[in-house]
Chain A
Amino acid sequence: MGRKAVSAVVAALVAAGLLTACGGGGSGSAGTGAPEGVDDGTTLTMWTRAATGPQSEALVEAYNAGHENTIELTVVPTDDYQAKIGAAAGSGELPDLFASDVVFAPNYTSSGLYADLTDRIAALPFADDLAASHLDAGTWEGARHVVPHTLDLSVLFYNRDLYRRAGLDPDRPPTSLEEWDEQARAVDALGDGVDGTFFGGNCGGCGVFTWWPSIWAAGAEVLDADGTSADLASDPARQVYDTYRGWAADGIAAPGTRDETGTTWTGVFPEGDIGVMPMPSTTFGQMPDELDFGVAPIPGPGGGGSTFVGGDAIGIAATSEHPDQAWNFLRWSLDDEAQLDVVAAGGDVVARTDLAANEHAAADPRLVTINELVAEGRTPYALNFGQTFNDPNGPWLALMRNAVFGDGDSVEADNQAVTDSLRD
């Protein structure tokens, strides 16, 4: 390479360096910090992921109808959400408001993408009643950055019609993993296209969401408090794997379980041919009217019940130029009116524990069951959550599949791989 070419390359490298230097640096303003926020006709942008899109859409629609401010909501396919946020963060083009799968919130808070909301949250009259696990997930170095947006709990759904046909009591859902196993097998025995249960066997996120509650229900832990060590080879965990293993081996789970990557796993139960399976509570409002179904806590080996308190937390982008207007929406979304008339009326879980026994829930005992679960549920915390548990090529999915579809001998080693990834 000639001297000229070398200097050209150097010049271009410098240019590239300058370009990227321009990409950094936020331009957000701190705002006035008024507790009510500002409603002055500003247009705000907001992103959410498809998994909780309907809930966000309902809230935004109600807000736009009653306020000067207008929110333009963009619903992004769930699988692409992280990538889209990452790309936007890199180029300083984040929307004013963006929701986050609550388990990914630490990624965003640790990178400084969210504005500090500590004082604004503390000033809320109902600050102590907000879903604590969501607030904790968005706390970084003592500062709160997010509020709960949509709560999505893992709940056992069971088909009461199929229970009746199989000679089971439709008012007695399983209270232990063993009963769950018996009931699934009883329904499966009906044959004729009916299956006992279903699960996302090739979907790490589904496993986290639906298997861990069974482990928690037995009183065991899955992660340590700071999310750097896994305990997924405990006896209760192995009992859970073995039960699922039986369902896969004996054809109790519907066809496709082994290949299900999580894209369609909630679409199977509504068709009415599945006996009993854990699913997100956000699917409650979208069940067909003619389906007679009940809900229950996810039981563990030997009894107990728990849930994974998932869903989306939401915060204001650190780069937003309208933090006061954005806060106006967040504050309104947590108010009695929005929580009762929009969230609870839509059959969803309210973000405040003081509203758990509201009039909408009282009309349907199933909703009371779900709302009461919030207190017993858990939201695990780990900075490397996505790359360890949600990544389709990550170590947790390998553990799941080895334990349920493989020979089941590698749980100990796979658990170590999960720990390594958490510490990576």
Chain B
Amino acid sequence: MSSLPHHRAAAPAARRRPWWRSRAARGAAYATPTAVFVAVLFVLPLLLVGRMSASEWPLLAGDRGLNLPENYPDVVGNQLFWPAVRFTLLYTGIVTVALLGLALLLALLVQEARPGTGFLRTAYFLPSVLGLASASLLFWGLYSPAIGPIGPLLRRLGLVEGDVSFLGSPGAALASTVFLVVWKFAGFYMLILLVGLQRIPVEVYEAARIDGARRGQIFRSVTLPLLRPSLALTLILCVTGSLLAFDQFFILTKGGPDNSTVTVVQLIYREAFQRLDLGTAAALSMLLLVVLLVLNALQFRGLRRADER
């Protein structure tokens, strides 16, 4: 890069650096790996799914050409679609309330350094180390009427009579799955909230106590508002995760009994691998993606507002 004829030796201060050393180029270089990553692993697959959703695309035979918009009315017209949407929302609501409530309680319990809290924190967190599929399989065994130990145990304790069916009725199947998910994730969300709790300065509590605030008042007026960013984060994670629920239902209930626990993602799997139609599966994925985008945008806006306070 030695010959740049329009440069004047008389103006060394204004001498421009070569383009590849400019600030902008360096910035772009730093961003390139991420950009490539996002493009290859996110944008391209997304476009492919978009293309699929607009095409007749049997799983076994491959692309058969565009048929927009046929796949979209097809999936919405499926008789399992609205029940699945309803169930997914119900499940998300129950799990979010139960999970965040319990996680907050656990975080408050192990917040202060007392003898034994280290043990308790580890114990609460331990289930999070397990994969969701493994945890589901474990509970499938525990719930199993043939080999599960919980039913006989309850019977021996005299709490129930006859056989207990954990997955046999719609209500029981939902409750059993919620229990598994709460057991699995409560420790994880506890950890996030614990970090949030410990970020709250001790001085604020001291000031509140000096002002004569009672425990309940402190919790409501000091802890909760200052914990809002952490709560918002757990809320986003929990809602998004629950709307995408699949593994636990796939393993525990397969959508049963009698299609009472079919989630939206299970419908995607069913379209693709039972009905062998990637087109409608992709259409369903796009719909779910749009809903998640809108929801996350709203939640992030709430999160940002919480941060500004």
How far is A397 from B59 in the complex, measured between Cα atoms in Å? 23
Q: Mark A283-321, 1 if CB is under 8 A from B, else 0.
A: 000000000000000000000000000000000000000
The yes or no answer to A325 lying at the interface (CB within 8 A) is: no
Find out whether the CB atom of B168 lies under 8 angstroms from the CB atom of A258. Answer: yes
User: CA A259 – CA B165 in complex, angstroms?
Assistant: 8
Q: Fill in one digit per residue for A399-413: 1 if any B CB lies within 8 Å of its CB, else 0.
A: 001100000000000
User: Is B213 close to A, CB under 8 A?
Assistant: no
Q: Contact check, B60 vs A113: say whether CB atoms are below 8 A apart.
A: yes
Q: Give complex CA distance A394, B259 in Å.
A: 9
Q: Is A398 an interface residue (CB 8 A)?
A: yes
Instruction: Indicate whether A86 sits within 8 Å of B255 (C-beta atoms), given known contacts A17-B51, A255-B146, A387-B274.
Output: no
Tell me the bound Cα distance from A85 to B43 in angstroms.
26
How far, in whole Å, are A393 and B260 apart by their CA atoms in the complex? 10
Q: Which residue of A lies closest to B148 (CB)?
A: A256
What class of interface size applies to chain B in its complex with A? 35 or more
Count of chain A to chain B residue pairs whose CB atoms are closer than 8 Å in the complex: 106
- A112 close to B (CB within 8 Å): yes
> A33 CA to B244 CA in the complex, in Å?
50
Does any Cβ of A come within 8 Å of B301's Cβ?
no
- One of A19, A89, A256, A393 near B80 (C-beta < 8 A): A393
Contact B62 A24 (CB under 8 A): yes
Chain A residues with CB under 8 A of B168: 258-259
A268 to B51, CA, bound (A): 47
Complex contacts, B43 vs chain A, CB 8 Å: 12
- Asked, given contacts A16-B44, A391-B270, whether A259 binds B163 with beta carbons under 8 Å apart, the answer is no
On whether the beta carbons of A258 and B44 are closer than 8 Å, the reply is no
Contact of A394 among B50, B63, B274 (CB under 8 A): B274
Q: Is the CB of A392 within 8 A of B255?
A: yes
Q: Are B272 and A83 in contact (CB under 8 A)?
A: yes
Given contacts A16-B47, A23-B62, A393-B80, contact A401 B272 (CB under 8 A): no
Which one of A85, A87, A393, A401 lies within 8 Å of B262 (CB-CB)?
A: A393
B70 to chain A, nearest CB (A): 14
Q: Closest CB of chain B to A40's CB: distance in Å? A: 31
In contact, A259 and B51 (Cβ under 8 angstroms): no
Q: Does A261 count as interface, using CB distance less than 8 angstroms?
A: yes
A80 and chain B: residue at smallest CB distance: B273
- B59 contacts across to A, CB distance below 8 A: 86-87, 89-90
Q: Complex: how many Å from CA A394 to CA B145?
A: 24
Q: Which A residues are in CB contact (< 8 Å) with B47?
A: 9, 12-13, 15-16
With a cutoff of 8 Å between Cβ atoms, the chain A residues found around residue B60 in the complex are: 85-86, 89-90, 107-108, 111, 113
B44 — which chain A residues lie within 8 A by C-beta?
Answer: 12, 15-16, 19
B51 touches A254 (CB 8 A): no
Q: Which residues of B contact A19 (CB under 8 A)?
A: 44, 48
Q: A13-B47, A111-B58, A255-B163 are contacts. A202–B257 as well, Cβ < 8 Å?
A: yes
A390 CB–B CB distance under 8 Å: yes
Contact of A387 among B62, B276, B278 (CB under 8 A): B276
Indicate if the CB atoms of B144 and A83 lie closer than 8 Å. Answer: no
A20 touches B254 (CB 8 A): no
Is the CB–CB distance between B270 and A393 below 8 Å?
A: yes
CB nearest to A88 among chain B residues: B60
Residue of A nearest to B257 (CB): A202
* B146 engages A82 (CB within 8 Å): no
Q: Complex Cα distance A386/B259, Å?
A: 17
Closest residue on chain B to residue A89 by CB atoms? B60
CB-defined interface of A82-107 with B at 8 Å, one 1/0 digit per residue? 11011101100000000000000001
Assuming the contacts A12-B43, A268-B146, asked whether A86 and B62 have C-beta atoms less than 8 A apart, the reply is no
Q: Which B residues touch A261, using CB under 8 A? A: 254, 256
CB contacts (< 8 Å) of B278 on chain A: these are 90
- A27 interface hit (Cβ, 8 Å): no
Residues of B within 8 A of A20 (CB): 48, 51, 62-63
Is there a chain B Cβ closer than 8 Å to A7's Cβ? no
Closest approach, in angstroms, between the C-beta of A393 and any C-beta of chain B?
5
B275 / chain A contacts, CB cutoff of 8 Å: 387, 391, 424
B48, B62, B258: residue with the most chain A Cβ atoms closer than 10 Å: B62
* Closest B residue, CB atoms, query A263: B140
Which chain B residue shows the least CB distance to A112? B61
How many angstroms between the C-alpha atoms of A255 and B60 in the bound complex? Answer: 39
What distance in Å separates the Cβ of A264 from its nearest Cβ neighbour in chain B? 6
A267 to chain B: which residues have CB within 8 Å? 146
Q: List residues of chain A with CB within 8 A of the CB of B231.
A: none
- Flag if B146 contacts A86 (CB, 8 Å): no
Cα–Cα, bound, A392→B80 (Å): 12
The minimal Cβ–Cβ distance linking A351 to chain B, given in whole angstroms, is 25
The closest CB in chain A to the CB of B269 belongs to A83
Contacts of A16 in B (CB 8 A): 44, 47-48, 51
B167 within 8 A of A: yes
From B50, B80, B145, B256, contact of A255 by CB (8 A): B145
Taking CB atoms and an 8 Å cut-off, the chain B residues in 155-175 that contact chain A are 163, 165, 167-168
A258–B257 CB distance below 8 A: yes
Interface residues of B in 52-66 (CB under 8 A from A): 58-63
- CB neighbours of A13 from chain B (8 A): 47, 50-51
Look across to chain B and name the residue whose beta carbon is closest to the beta carbon of A198.
B146
B259 touches A83 (CB 8 A): no
B residues within 8 A CB of A258?
165, 168, 257
State the Cβ distance, A14 to closest chain B Cβ, in Å.
10
Select one of A17, A107, A254, A259 contacting B276, CB under 8 A: A107
Q: List 7 A-B contacts (CB under 8 A).
A: A20-B62, A85-B60, A111-B60, A390-B274, A391-B270, A393-B254, A424-B275
Other than the given A87-B59, A259-B257, 11 more pairs (CB < 8 A) read: A12-B44, A16-B44, A19-B44, A19-B48, A20-B62, A90-B278, A111-B61, A258-B168, A393-B80, A393-B262, A393-B266
The 8 closest A-B pairs by CB, nearest first: A256-B145, A111-B60, A86-B59, A83-B273, A392-B254, A391-B274, A111-B61, A16-B47
